[in-house]
Amino acid sequence: MEFNDTYRHKGLRKRLLEDLREMGIQDQRVLEAMYNVPRHYFLSSAFLEFAYDNKAFQIGAGQTISQPYTVARQTELLCLEKGDKVLEIGTGSGYQTAVLCEMGAKVWSIERQKELYDKTCPLIKALGYRPQLYYGDGYKGKPAFAPYDKMIVTCGAPQIPEALLQQLAVGGRLIIPVGEGRTQRMIELRKNGPTDFSRKEHGDFAFVPMLSDRAR
């Protein structure tokens, strides 16, 4: 794999990050991490010219890489601390995964499309990141490594999966878009005790749906 991050890419990235700041992203660490991860590595070369537009793009298997604003907002809502154990549902292109790694999180990420899992594993490794990637169904979480300090779901869930609530650490936080329509509400859940959760909403976003079971 060949990676080429030119001055032009860096310039476009800077401009995108200024736009995100104007749209309300305040966490400087998130913006820095997004500066350090060249988004154009995660898109097919057909979209190279548009990699730093604030838009979602097709990544294969009918899926999309999230819009940069969405990545920034979800990451900001996680309130990451260095060394946090993070479970991500919906690896997709691996872009969000790379941003989490860049912020010093230990990442476990699950993808249900084999085609994307097979494509993203070598890319993320070649870029030097070391998350644990799995092909599987995110509805089940990854109990073997629970509890997780933070969880991020990057597909629209019809409801909050019970397994994720169980695998979240007390004091932990889950950021998940919930809803079955064209848009979902961004929900922040905090786990105050084994069965005690508090909930906040953070506006409407549009995601591809979270589907159950593995794709064949």
- Residue ranges in contact with ligand SAH by CB under 6 A: 59, 63-66, 89-90, 92-93, 95-96, 110-113, 116, 137-139, 154-155, 208, 210-212
Q: How far is the CB of 140 from ligand SAH (least distance, A)?
A: 8
Which residues, 6 or more positions from 164, have their beta carbon under 8 angstroms from its beta carbon? 87, 89, 141, 151, 153, 174, 176
The amino acid occupying position 168 is: L
Nearest residue (CB) to ligand SAH, 159 versus 192: 159
Q: How far is the CB of 87 from ligand SAH (least distance, A)?
A: 11
Nearest residue (CB) to ligand SAH, 96 versus 191: 96
Greatest extent of the chain over all pairs of C-alpha atoms, in Å:
50
Nearest residue (CB) to ligand SAH, 163 versus 171: 163
Alpha-carbon gap, residue 21 to 29, rounded angstroms: 12
Q: How far is the CB of 98 from ligand SAH (least distance, A)?
A: 9
Catalytic residue among 66, 93, 109, 198: 66
66 in active site? yes
Nearest residue (CB) to ligand SAH, 192 versus 212: 212
Which residues, 6 or more positions from 96, have their beta carbon under 8 angstroms from its beta carbon? 66, 71, 74, 75, 88, 152, 154
Q: How far is the CB of 112 from ligand SAH (least distance, A)?
A: 4
Catalytic residues, by residue number, are: 66
